[in-house]
Chains A and B, each alone.
Chain A
Amino acid sequence: MGKSRGPVWVIAEQIDCRILEVSFQLIGHGRKLAAALDTTVEAILLGHKMEEHPRQLFAAGGDRVYLGNDPELAVYQPEIYTEIIEKLAKERQPEIILVGSTAMGRELAPLIAARLDTGLTAHCIDLVIDGNKVLESRIPAYGGLLSIICPDRRPQMATIATGVFPNPEPDESRTGEIIPIEVPKKIPRRIQTLEVVREEPEGMDLESATIVVAGGAGAGDPAGWRKIAGLAEVLNAALGATRPAVDEGWAALETMIGQSGKMVSPELYIGVGLSGELQHMVGISGAKIMVAINNDAKSPVFEQVDYGIVDDYREFVPVFIEKIKEYQGKLKTC
């Protein structure tokens, strides 16, 4: 009989005692990976007043939850979180560690990976187990889909954005084992999160929007950007951006869609002045209907959407807005 493999781990994340969607999604997908490896799915949950929460993780597909329940763990504390997870990983030897691609995850994952002397793949859009029982982390790059592997070291680590994997159907009848973990006494304490401040998000939430309008480098200038924002407004849509639009300062980083930004799955996506680079397009693969407005008929974006408009957006968008308003006006009279 072969040596049994270590578990698949998910670093769960909570904000104000609410477990984030991405944590459930990773547990859901973690089950598939665990099935292929013939092992279990385990979650690490750190917080305070979280006694009841492991149930939700079991319902999502977890077999075991390591629960750190302590006032000191209420908010993300890099040093303590890293210390706890490193120690636990050295003891339990997980085969895989999955981390949500959140602000916390993007800091915590490399801290853990470097402590464990292992590789870490960012912004994965799929995770599969290959014929050698190795984790393949798929990332889009330069017109193709790369599979990244970490062949020799364990654990294999990856970060994944919210919405890459679906929410698992909760099975309330599932149960599991809770293993309490303590806050380590001897740590340097050179860093402390004093406070977490949440601000009202500006504009509509991209991830839950039914319509998303995204603008790209082709917007050209702030006035152009406002035109695109105007289209979003009449459609009651969330406004997203490509990376150059963020770089230019027209749009906020939180509105970036794509591999290193948000994953969205609206009913309708309208891309304006953007070229359809894979790193952006993977962020909207879940959209039902896709439209592109671009003045370059040869732009690759026109190979990836349902409807294409070849035109200067500055001219087309105002006309389009008028037509939408006409339609909306008709709706009101009947």
Chain B
Amino acid sequence: MSRVRLIQTLLIGGSVALLEILCRAGVIDHFTMIPPSDMLLSLIRIARTESWFWPDVLYTLRNLAVAIVIAVAGGFLIGLGVHAVPRLRRCLDPLFSSYYSVPTFVLYPLLIVIFGIGPASLIVMGALFGVVAMIVATLTALDRIPRALIKTARIMRLDALRGVLMVRLPAAAPHLFTGLKLAVAYCVIGVIAGEFILATAGIGRRLSFSYNNFDNQTMYGVLLLILVFAATLNALLNIWEKRLHQRWYR
């Protein structure tokens, strides 16, 4: 395992170093991209000196948290409901599977008209993005519960509630967790995309704002923050997911 980590570190470090050299040597010009080290310095600078930094970060995080809760809980419940009605499910499957090929945020301006420009629109945007991933994962999870386990629950004469809590949910947990992971990733995309398009605050808005003002230093600092945040979140969820899967499956 440590060898894998070593190679990964070398690979990522090497790419960053290569980018640094290309930028410094002028192969990539300064208007296109600033060297990674400058991005980091810029991020540190804005975090320490700019008064907008923490309020914007907190604004995004708060909206994101609410969106995730809505997407995961809502997606799970909708998934349960749809799974219970196979005919409905058969109709909805093509919709679910093509959902992510349509840029849902074209509807964002309409959301602004309905909910006003502010947290509510962003939260709905993020939740709309994440919810289908959770629905699909819930359906898969319910499909994949081994029939022998469900029969065992019946032989043990668990009532409906216990059957769900003690057998079905744990048996479905690995796939549900994968859904959670995807829903989180999509919520991040939805909230930040919404901020990017139109918002009064938030880290995504700061990105588009600095881009439109040709402020490359700030833009790359903020971009680095977003990428590192998304990557870290994903890595943490991945590790957790892997633990879960290792216990459930060989």
Q: Do A and B bind each other?
A: no
Residues of A within 8 A of B (CB): none
